[in-house]
């Protein structure tokens, strides 16, 4: 639970804007309305955004590469996307007014998901086998650094380009031995296709040598400079939304289902829980706070990105991430 001081600060701030006209703030997600989006809908339904003077609307997305320009152009003042994609975007567009302002996925969901029955349980098992990977996939983009960290003989791995819709079905049918993807998406998609849970191996790259961070709240820096109190309030409400679904995931999924009634509530509850356990509320976050980053780890992450990406300018974390809209030390969790 967040410390009382943060809740009180938010309440006092909310009191100062009580009765004031709310500000519209469209928020661009990176993906569909699935379990990990529940905290943002919960923040709407519980009044966390409203208490900060914000009228937040949420738009589904089709990947981080799609979200970043939306925020950079100012079409959306805030978004949710992969910081590694942002780093590359800013290296190529150094004047673009967009930065990450709150880390959500302390561990990225990048994973190799395999079938134990097809011999894939650990990174080294990929050698001599077929790996299905959609070319635009974020996890596939990190595979070279993952392979380097695990000393894989990449020449012995047959990489099969696959589409996003066919990725899990091909693994379920045994046409490939493993796939790249987001852990909480691919694992649950396989279960939905009838693959037994005890036959699925979830090899999280962050647990096997990758220091990369994952998805973060992105801000348009021009908008933030002109409206710092609105950005601070937005981040506060986001933190409260995550804590709310952590304490009551079923209520969060109820909020999600109102926006996506065709979803499978049980499946999305499991997807949400996986994201919280593996990616958001990590041991590091519990000790150091939600939203902030470890500078030494970020330096290591930038070095790993440089293994497969040629930076045009010297990489510097301050170019991509700012903590100026967060409380000192981030949002405390227990």
Query: Residue 264: which CATH number?
Result: 3.40.190.10
pLDDT of residue 19: 46
Smallest CA-to-CA distance from 192 within 2, 31, 314, 35 is with: 35
Give strand pairing partners of 159.
131
Asked if residue 34 belongs to a domain, the reply is yes
pTM of the model: 0.89
Choosing from 157, 182, 207, the residue where a domain stops is 207
Instruction: Indicate the average pLDDT of the chain.
Output: 93
pLDDT of residue 178: 98
Q: Do 238 and 96 share a structural domain?
A: yes
Residue stretches of the chain with pLDDT short of 50:
1-19
Choosing from 165, 183, 207, the residue where a domain stops is 207
pLDDT of residue 260: 97
pLDDT of residue 150: 96
Asked if residue 329 belongs to a domain, the reply is no
Enclosing H/E stretch for 84: helix 83-92
Range of the domain at 203: 110-207
Q: Do 103 and 175 share a structural domain?
A: no
Q: Residue 67 in contact with residue 29, Cβ under 8 Å?
A: yes
Asked if residue 331 belongs to a domain, the reply is no
Asked if residue 325 belongs to a domain, the reply is no
pLDDT of residue 105: 97
Smallest CA-to-CA distance from 234 within 247, 248, 218 is with: 218
pLDDT of residue 20: 61
């Amino acid at each position: 639970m967040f410390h009382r001081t943060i809740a009180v600060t938010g309440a006092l701030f909310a009191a100062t804007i009580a009765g004031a006209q709310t500000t519209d703030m469209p928020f661009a997600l990176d993906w569909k309305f699935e379990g990990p989006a529940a905290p943002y809908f919960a923040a709407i339904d519980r009044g966390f955004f409203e208490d900060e003077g914000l009228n937040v609307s949420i738009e589904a997305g089709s990947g981080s590469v799609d979200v970043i320009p939306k925020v950079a152009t100012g079409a959306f003042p805030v978004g949710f996307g992969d910081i590694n994609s942002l780093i590359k975007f800013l290296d190529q567009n150094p004047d673009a007014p967009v930065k990450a302002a709150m880390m959500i996925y302390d561990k990225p969901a990048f994973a190799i998901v395999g079938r134990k029955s097809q011999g894939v349980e650990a990174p080294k098992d990929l050698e001599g086998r077929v790996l299905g990977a959609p070319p635009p996939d974020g996890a596939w983009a990190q595979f070279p650094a993952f392979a380097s960290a695990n000393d894989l003989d990449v020449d012995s791995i047959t990489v099969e380009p696959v589409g996003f819709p066919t990725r899990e079905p091909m693994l379920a049918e045994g046409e490939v031995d493993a796939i790249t993807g987001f852990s909480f998406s691919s694992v649950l998609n396989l279960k939905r296709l009838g693959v037994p849970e005890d036959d699925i191996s979830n090899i999280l790259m962050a647990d096997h040598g990758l220091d990369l961070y994952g998805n973060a709240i992105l801000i348009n820096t021009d908008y933030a400079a002109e409206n710092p109190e609105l950005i601070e309030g937005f981040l506060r409400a986001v933190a409260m939304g995550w804590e709310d679904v952590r304490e009551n995931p079923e209520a969060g999924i109820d909020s999600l289902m109102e926006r996506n009634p065709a979803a499978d509530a049980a499946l999305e509850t499991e997807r949400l829980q996986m994201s919280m356990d593996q990616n958001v509320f990590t041991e590091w976050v519990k000790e150091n706070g939600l939203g902030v980053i470890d500078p030494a780890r970020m330096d290591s992450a930038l070095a790993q990105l440089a293994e497969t990406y040629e930076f045009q300018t010297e990489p510097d974390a301050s170019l991509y991430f700012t903590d100026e809209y967060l409380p000192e030390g981030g949002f405390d969790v227990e």
